[in-house]
Amino acid sequence: MVDRLAGKVAIVTGAGSGMGKAISQLFAKEGAKAVLADINAQGIEEVKQAIEQAGGQAAAKVTNVVKQEDVDGVIDFATQTFGQLDILVNNAGIMDNFTPVGNLTDAEYERVMAINLTGPVKLCRAAIQVMEKQETGGVIINNASVGGLFGTRGGAAYTMAKHALVGLTKNIAGTYGRFGKVRANAIAPGGVATNIQTTITAPDPLGMQALQATGETPIGQPGQIANLALFLASDEASFINGDIVKADGGWTVN
């Protein structure tokens, strides 16, 4: 099968590297017009060039998902550049040094929640206002992490944000998916080889002890997550709504 996203327009946050980069490139390969959103201007420009060199279509927009003006700006940019918005992938996120709540500072809590939860909330809100007016509706995919399903796969702030993102996904699915035209699902990756690890600057010893007790972490590749995102974004997944799909190499089977 080819061109599974032909004619679609997709915004991918965190598109400058890692899973966001892989998702953007695969979506473009499958016919989507990819809107690359990231705070890293150089990263999204390089991804844009790679997509265009491969024969795809892409546009880059520097976006800080915490800022409402940037959120509104990237939604407007997508619709003005390509005329519609069919897919939103909330992929941008950071880790939190596995800090347990007893050691969590207000500053760290607020930063993690702002990027990992408030940003996706703002983007979902803005995207839905466009998608629900379109005859074909739209699809939202949130990158929720196994940290959104289990309590020791991240620090307190990260875990709270990802659990809330799971709840947001289900709420959108239960309202706009059942009674509107916007499907919503989430991906829950385990360990994936991306540069998000660079946001772990000073791991908390107690948090790391809790993480290590979960056993050896299988490490996936960004392309493996991109393949799942492609399926969920495509019409092949038209009857899948409100699901949280794990992609963790079996890390959480026990």
Number of Cβ atoms within 10 Å of the Cβ of 202: 8
Neighbour-count burial for 149-160, b at 16+ CB within 10 Å, e otherwise: bbebbbbbbbbb
d(CA 23, CA 91): 9
Q: Is 109 a catalytic residue?
A: no
Q: Which of 77, 82, 109, 158 is catalytic?
A: 158
Distance in angstroms between the alpha carbons of the first and the last residue of the chain? 35
d(CA 184, CA 204): 34
The angle at the Cα of 251, spanning 196 to 141, to the nearest 5 degrees, equals 55
d(CA 136, CA 247): 28
What is the C-alpha R_g of the chain? 17
Tokens linked to 42: 């150089």
Residues belonging to the active site: 158
